[in-house]
Amino acid sequence: MNAVPLAVTIVMIEDDEGHARLIEKNLKRAGVYNEVRHFADGTSALDYLLGPSHGGQRPLLVLLDLNLPDMSGFDILAKIKDDPVLRPAPVIVLTTTDDEREIRRGYELGCNVYITKPVNYESFAQAVRQLGLFLAVIQVPPPT
């Protein structure tokens, strides 16, 4: 059973290097050792995801920040959910705001989990660790 979650590649789309580092650190602390591919902008992330390889033909999990320099995270979310190959991939939105309307919009566009990045570090670490637990139990279907 463990073989499948381990095979999942985590695609992290996050423009803030610091946040990316903190997420990686805490994932490791939570015992998540999956491959993490980090993209600092939407364009390169979409090139990787929607390009010919479709994220390297491997099961994917997308960690998505909504504030990106070149486009809104919602646009990326919509594109992922529009793509027949990528649609099954779980998308976890990680962002700084807890605005209800944004959360609603995220879920409407097909985001699976919405996590607010708390400024309080303990909460932040807790959230990422829960994400690790989440990764341990979900079955990510491989792209067809």
Partner 1 sequence: MPLTRTTFGRVTLLLMAVGFAALLAVGVGLVWLVESSRGFSQAVTATQNVRLASVRVLSLMQDAETGQRGYLLTGDRSYLAPYEAAVAALPEALPDLARQVIADGGLAGPVEALARNAQRKLDELAHTIALAETGNREAALAAVRSGLGQASMQDVRAELAALETRSAGRLAARTAAVERSGRALLAGAALALALMFAVTFGAGLISHRYLRALERAEAATRVANEGLEARVAERTASLAAANAEIQRFAYIVSHDLRAPLVNVMGFTAELETSLGELRGLVERLQQEAPALLTPAIQAAVTEEVPEAIRFIRSSTERMDRLINAILRLSREGRRALKPERVELAALLDALLATMQHQLEEAGATVERQPSLPALVTDRLALEQILGNLIDNAVKYLDPARPGRITITAERRGTRIEIEVADNGRGIDPRDHARVFELFRRSGRQDQKGEGIGLAHVRALARRLGGEVSLQSTPGQGSRFRVILPAILAPEPAASEENYA
Q: Which residues in this chain contact partner 1 in the complex, by CB under 8 A?
A: 16, 18-19, 22, 25, 66-67, 72-74, 96-97, 99, 101-102, 105, 117-122, 124-125
Structure tokens at 63: 């960690």
- State the nearest-atom distance from the C-beta of 42 to partner 1, in Å: 13
Structure tokens at 81: 């959910």
The three-class DSSP label of residue 72 is strand
Question: How far apart, in Å, are the Cα atoms of 61 and each of 17, 95, 100, 119, 121?
Answer: 19, 16, 24, 24, 24
- Residue with the two structure tokens 């209800």: 100
- State the nearest-atom distance from the C-beta of 115 to partner 1, in Å: 12
Residue type, 144: T
Q: Give the residue with the Cβ less far from partner 1, 65 or 90.
A: 65
- State the nearest-atom distance from the C-beta of 64 to partner 1, in Å: 12
Q: Give the residue with the Cβ less far from partner 1, 53 or 72.
A: 72
- State the nearest-atom distance from the C-beta of 25 to partner 1, in Å: 7
